[in-house]
Amino acid sequence: MAKKATKIKVNKAEAAKRVKKIWPILETTYPDAKSALNFRNPFQMLISTILSAQCTDARVNMVTSKVFKKYKSPADWAKADLKDIESDIRSTGFYHNKAVSIKNASKAIIEKFDGSVPDTLEDLVTLPGVGRKTANVVLGNAFGKPAIACDTHVIRLSRRLRLSENSDPVKLEFDLAEILPERIWTVFSHSLILHGRKYCRARKPDCANCPISGYCPAANNPDLW
């Protein structure tokens, strides 16, 4: 039986103070924090992010290294046969839904945005298969706009660090936006992802070697994970 999520209470003023203490450490620990997805333009970032759902970045990069040579524009994806797209992206998993999303999003980009990926969250989320998380990834990485992308690592670490009591990604995004300086929104998300992979793993966090454990209320306490 899965462990029931621990109910926590977060004081936003204290959370903001905690950010000021942990961010300099994270910034030093992960000076090159950025997306692991390979892309050359906003459209490639969008496709890669859609493919990354329930799939490793490494696998996505393997697939896109080939498909980006075959499908070079929204028009290429839009006119492609759905079965061909499915075959080309099959190894990323959930390939039918992803193929439908990519094909329909490409059509929408052509029909509604003159063939260019929109650069606002409001417009991005109107694209088929694009939610706030995907939109924020594109905004932060392809357009360089402040954006908070809440994946499973960001959710887990934000709760353990008592930066938010929410596991819902949208609510968490709004919580973090209140306590993080806007200039670090994107890189903070990347840093938490890297930290979650290296130290703050889901089942067995390495609190003994974690550089921010001194500021983590859940450090060395499994009951608070």
Active site residues: 133, 151
Phi and psi at residue 212, to the nearest 5°: -115, 15
C-alpha pair distances (Å), 115 with each of 74, 105, 196 = 7, 11, 36
CB 182 within 8 A of CB 146: yes
SS (H, E, C) 188-219: HHHHHHHHHHHCCCCCCCCCCCCCCHHHCCCC
What's the DSSP call for residue 6?
Answer: P
CB 5 within 8 A of CB 167: yes
CB 151 within 8 A of CB 193: yes
Nearest of 16, 33, 10 to residue 153 by alpha carbon: 33
C-alpha pair distances (Å), 50 with each of 1, 53, 67, 123, 142 = 31, 6, 14, 16, 14
